[in-house]
Amino acid sequence: MNRRTSLIPSWLPVDPYVLALLATVGLAALLPVSGAAAEAAGGASTGAVALLFFLYGARLSTREIVEGLKHWRLHLTVLACTFVLFPVLGLAARGLVPYLLTPQLHSGLLFLCLVPSTVQSSIAFTSIARGNVPAAICAGSFSSLAGIVITPLLAALLIGGGTAGFSADSLVKIVAQLLLPFVAGQLLRRWLTGFLTRHRKALGLVDRGSVLLVVYTAFSEGMVTGIWHQVTPARLAAMLAVEAVLLAVMLSVSWYGGRRLGFDRADRVAIQFAGSKKSLAAGLPMASVLFGAHASLAVLPLMLFHQMQLMVCAVLAKRRAKDEEAREAQPTGTPDAPVPTSEPAGVPTPGR
């Protein structure tokens, strides 16, 4: 168990990256950039987004994609959860406007429902719960790859030119800042693999630092334009409640739906943890491209959901592991044995 994990209760994983994001938001609130400084920060943010997607393309293994195709039913199920069921629920939440959510917060909630699944946290929680880890790796990778194309298209279709600020010009930005760098990374991957492996830790800091820059620029612009005056504590509390219901529905549907589709326990674990997650790392830079001046409100629901999914899924993964331990300890042909009370090893808190 690493030092950071031992200092935090295993049932309450607080992602340090989320704390860094919140600190960045606080800095943007106290010291927002404007004028020439804002233009410089915006240019740096644009370059950071392009660099992020270049690195995503360079890291994605084509061999893993080919191997993962062998379990196509599982991956289609995860993709359906991520890009079909989630968006349907996001659209249904439109009925909560203006009673619980403002139009801007609903746009952010809907955007949350459109972003791809995570990779690291899906793998970590599937491993803790003793599920099909290779399937979780491939499912997360497929979702991330598909999201580069599907998320902007769904945003154009479902959010359109309303409060989100999405326009035809955004499509050009998507190609220039997301798709082209990603494709370039894939094409150059064979020459970059060694470099990426040797400098994995440093490049991880580049990843996170780039996202922090994107967040700072977006929230600074929000402060300067005054859009944060539209958000009240009551609205934030309502948003948290709506997201809690959203997460509960997706965890339940992905688990019991997997059983109805005939998947075994290990596959159902992978489906549940990959199909109920949303990627903060992919969503934040996408929002900066898609939403412009409204990006700060658009990413707020995603930031809240990210921490919520980590906390809930850490508890759930340990529960799944206990259930499996009890099943294995049960003699064949005997009634269910009581669940052991010993705690499994500490939960590694995923960063995305």
Examine the pLDDT at 328 and tell me if it is beyond 90. Answer: no
Angstrom distance (rounded) from CA 263 to CA 271? 9
User: Which residues, 6 or more positions from 313, have their beta carbon under 8 angstroms from its beta carbon?
Assistant: 121, 125, 251, 273, 276, 277
What is the per-residue pLDDT for 139? 87
pLDDT band at 254 (very low <50, low <70, confident <90, very high): very high
Type of residue numbered 239: M
Angstrom distance (rounded) from CA 106 to CA 298? 9
DSSP string across 35-46: HHHHHHHHHHHH
Token digits of residue 182: 């990603």
Per DSSP, 97 falls in state: T
How many CB atoms lie under 10 A from the CB of residue 14? 15
Token digits of residue 111: 């955007």
**Average pLDDT estimate for 256-276:** 95
Greatest mean pLDDT among 52-56, 91-95, 102-106, 318-322 lies in: 91-95
- Higher per-residue pLDDT: 306 or 261: 261
What is the per-residue pLDDT for 8? 46
pLDDT band at 289 (very low <50, low <70, confident <90, very high): confident
Per DSSP, 117 falls in state: P
Token digits of residue 78: 């995860």
How many CB atoms lie under 10 A from the CB of residue 123? 24
Examine the pLDDT at 169 and tell me if it is beyond 50. Answer: yes
**Please, what's the b/e burial string for 324-351 (b: 16 or more CB within 10 A of its CB; e: otherwise)?**
bbeeeeeeeeeeeeeeeeeeeebbbbbb
For the segment 305-318, what is each residue's pLDDT rounded down to a tens digit?
A: 988 998 899 889 98
Examine the pLDDT at 224 and tell me if it is beyond 80. Answer: no
Chain mean position to CA 191: 29
Mean of pLDDT over the chain: 81
Examine the pLDDT at 180 and tell me if it is beyond 90. Answer: no
Are the beta carbons of 307 and 280 closer than 8 angstroms?
A: no
How many CB atoms lie under 10 A from the CB of residue 184? 15
pLDDT band at 255 (very low <50, low <70, confident <90, very high): very high
**Residue percentage of the chain with pLDDT more than 90:** 28
**For residue 179, what are the CA distances in angstroms to 50, 96, 185, 299?**
9, 34, 10, 21
Decide: residue 97, CB within 10 A, 0-12 exposed, 13-18 middle, 19+ buried.
middle
Which of 33-42, 58-67, 77-86, 305-314 is the least confident region? 58-67
**Residue percentage of the chain with pLDDT more than 70:** 80
pLDDT band at 14 (very low <50, low <70, confident <90, very high): low
For the segment 292-303, what is each residue's pLDDT rounded down to a tens digit?
A: 667 778 888 998
Examine the pLDDT at 248 and tell me if it is beyond 60. Answer: yes
Decide: residue 24, CB within 10 A, 0-12 exposed, 13-18 middle, 19+ buried.
buried
Type of residue numbered 164: A
**For residue 198, what are the CA distances in angstroms to 6, 53, 193?**
28, 19, 9
Type of residue numbered 87: P
Q: What is the CA radius of gyration of the chain?
A: 20
Examine the pLDDT at 336 and tell me if it is beyond 80. Answer: no
DSSP string across 165-211: ---HHHHHHHIIIIIHHHHHHHHTHHHHHHHHHHTHHHHHHHHHHHH
Domains (range + CATH), the chain: 14-322 (1.20.1530.20)
Examine the pLDDT at 348 and tell me if it is beyond 80. Answer: no
What is the per-residue pLDDT for 5? 42
What is the per-residue pLDDT for 55? 84
pLDDT band at 13 (very low <50, low <70, confident <90, very high): low
What is the per-residue pLDDT for 267? 95
Examine the pLDDT at 280 and tell me if it is beyond 90. Answer: no
Are the beta carbons of 307 and 114 closer than 8 angstroms?
A: no
Examine the pLDDT at 334 and tell me if it is beyond 60. Answer: no
What is the per-residue pLDDT for 281? 79
**Average pLDDT estimate for 8-25:** 68
Examine the pLDDT at 343 and tell me if it is beyond 50. Answer: no
**Average pLDDT estimate for 231-249:** 93
What is the per-residue pLDDT for 310? 85
What is the per-residue pLDDT for 168? 57
